[in-house]
Structure formats: structure tokens, C-alpha cells
Amino acid sequence: MVYGYARCSTNDTKQDVERQLRDLKNMGAEEIYHEYESGAKQNRVELAKLMNRIETGDTIVTTEVSRITRSLKQLCDIIDFAKSKNLRLLIGNFVIDCSGEIDHMTEAMLQMMGVFSQLERNMTIDRIRSGLANAKSKGVRLGRPKRTVDKVPKKVRDFFPMYQDGDISKTDYAKLCGISRPTLYKYIELMTDG
């Protein structure tokens, strides 16, 4: 059986996995697992399903090393798993047959691909951190916008005088507004401080 694996880091509104799915079908994948998760994340649901489903002698196809993992350690674990199950790995045009002894040069090339995949991820993280630091140094406020009293829902503001007069408890107040108590506490804090 030939299993495909596709992955993108962010959700389907920001990244499209369709190209990978099309390429995997062209590479002979009969069943494809795909997900939106970080390639460095150890416990990925769809990858775990694939690893649990695969049987001795099967094939795993992926478009490139960075799709299956962005971690060299995890790549080495996948190689060891492939050896234990006598799998065939097809990563882009790179074929690794683990049904016998893997050529040392082939294994080293695969690991080098993993090193570059991890390096690329680390460089991306560094660029993001640098960009955030630059924005912060220019006075840009990062994170969620600050909540202000005018952003408190109308219902919460309407029932606030009843709460202040002691006519309703916090629990009743939250129920009347259809919000959780922790959210209500935040709104009360805004309205009393603001």
C-alpha cells in the first residue's frame, strides 16, 4: 500500500494543501493523510494515524522532507521506524528503500535534507522575532488590541447598574448577558476602572 502525507503549518485560509495532495496522487499515493500543524510538533494526529496504519513493506510518499517534519530528531525516528517496518520512503524524487540495508550515503543525504529543513524553520523563526522586535522598537503595540469600556457589549453595560445596586449576583449577571463569569469579571474590571 502507498500512503501519502501532506502538511501545512497554518490553516486552510492561509495555506493551500491542494498542490501537495495532487502531487502525492501523481506519486502513486492510494491513501493520503494531511493536516495543518507545525512540522516541528512531535505529536501530530494525522501523522500518528499514518504510522499506526502502515504495515511492513508499505510505502510512504511526501513531496519533500519539510512536509513530513522540520525536526532532524523526528526525521531520524521516522527513518528508524521505516527500517523496522521495511518501508520504502519516497520524498519528492528521492527514494529510500528500507527493506534492506540502507546505503550510508543515502541515509546521510536524507539526514542532510532534514538538517536544511530544520535550519529553514529556525531561520524563519529568527526573521519573525527580528521583525517583531523592530516593530516594537518603533512603538507598534503587539498582541491583542487593548479593551476599552466602549468595547464592552451593550447587554453587559445595561445590566451593570443592577449589579452595582446589588439587585443581581455575578452568576445571574453572567447568565443574563450570556457570558462566562471570567469574561464578566474582565468587563466589570474595565467598567469600574475605566
Give pLDDT tens digits for 137-151: 999 988 877 778 888
Q: Are residues 93 and 117 in the same domain?
A: yes
Answer whether residue 144 is part of any domain. no
* Surface-to-core class of residue 4, CB atoms within 10 Å of its CB (0-12 exposed, 13-18 middle, 19+ buried): buried
CA dist., res. 123 & res. 125, Å (int): 5
Q: Are residues 120 and 153 in the same domain?
A: no
Residue positions annotated with a catalytic role: 9
Rounded mean pLDDT of the chain? 90
Q: Are residues 40 and 115 in the same domain?
A: yes
Answer whether residue 23 is part of any domain. yes
Q: Which grid coordinates are listed for 8?
A: 501545512
Answer whether residue 140 is part of any domain. no
Give pLDDT tens digits for 59-68: 999 999 999 9
pTM over 0.75: no
The domain total for the chain is 2
Q: Are residues 87 and 21 in the same domain?
A: yes
Beta strands at 88-91 and 94-97: parallel, antiparallel or unpaired: antiparallel
Q: Are residues 86 and 118 in the same domain?
A: yes
What's the pLDDT score for residue 194? 52
